[in-house]
Structure 1
Amino acid sequence: MGFALGEQLDITQVMDIKERLQAELEQSDSLLIDGSAVSRVDAPGLQLLLTARNLCQEKNIKWQWEGASSELVGAARTLGLVEPLGLNGFAL
């Protein structure tokens, strides 16, 4: 089942995305993340993703990216989070 992040992955959306992610993780043993529409991202948004990815690893839930925008990858690169978030395949 896919999980679309939407256009904003910033502090204004963190709580909503967190609730959606929690619900998704309770229902599935895999998570397909689509970040291709993300045009605005900040550190709290990336922190939420990193926390969710770490939780998935702890609970043996498969985490996979369907897509990632250049803005998302660029922000992750700036903070040194490309590898921890599993965005290696999207980083050029």
Structure 2
Amino acid sequence: MGFSLGEQLDITQVMDLKDRLQAELEQSDSLLIDGSEVSRVDAPGLQLLLTARNLCNNQSIGWKWEGASGELVGAAKTLGLIEPLGLVDFAE
């Protein structure tokens, strides 16, 4: 089972998600991210994901997407973050 981002990936959820991601990174050497339920996303949410992904890359922690909603992919595309976030397989 992957690490679920839930329905909201926005500024209202960033601190909670940051804490959950930190705890997950301390316990695992790889992350399977599930963004398939994301229906609301904003720049702070994407910034948190980018920071987490960069941290994983720097610490040789695996990062793989289990799923990504159209809203998540669309927001990442708008900000030019498809490749940096590793969402290429989900982009049209």
How many correspondences in the alignment?
92
Aligned residue identity for 2:57: Q
Question: In structure 1, what is the Cα distance between the partners aligned to 2:25 and 2:58?
Answer: 12
Structure 1 residue 89 and structure 2 residue 89: aligned? yes
Q: Note if 1:67 corresponds to 2:67.
A: yes
Structure 1 stretches of at least 4 aligned residues deviating more than 4 Å after TM superposition? none
TM-score normalized by the length of structure 2? 0.99
Cα separation, 2, equivalents of 1:60 and 1:25:
11
1:13: how far off?
0.1
Structure 2 unpaired stretches of 5+: none
Q: Which amino acid aligns with 1:26?
A: E
- What secondary structure, in the 3-state scheme, does the structure 1 residue paired with 2:83 have? coil
- Report the equivalent of 1:78: 78
What secondary structure, in the 3-state scheme, does the structure 2 residue paired with 1:12 have?
Answer: coil
Name the amino acid aligned to 2:37.
A
Q: Percent identity?
A: 83
Q: Distance in 2 between matches of 1:36 and 1:5?
A: 8
Deviation at 1:2, TM superposition (A): 1.6
TM norm structure 1: 0.99
Aligned partner of 1:4 in structure 2 is 4
Gaps of 5+ in 1: none
> Secondary structure at the residue paired with 2:6?
coil
- Match runs of 1:16-35 below 5 Å: 16-35=16-35
State the alpha-carbon separation in 2 of the partners of residues 42 and 77 from structure 1.
12
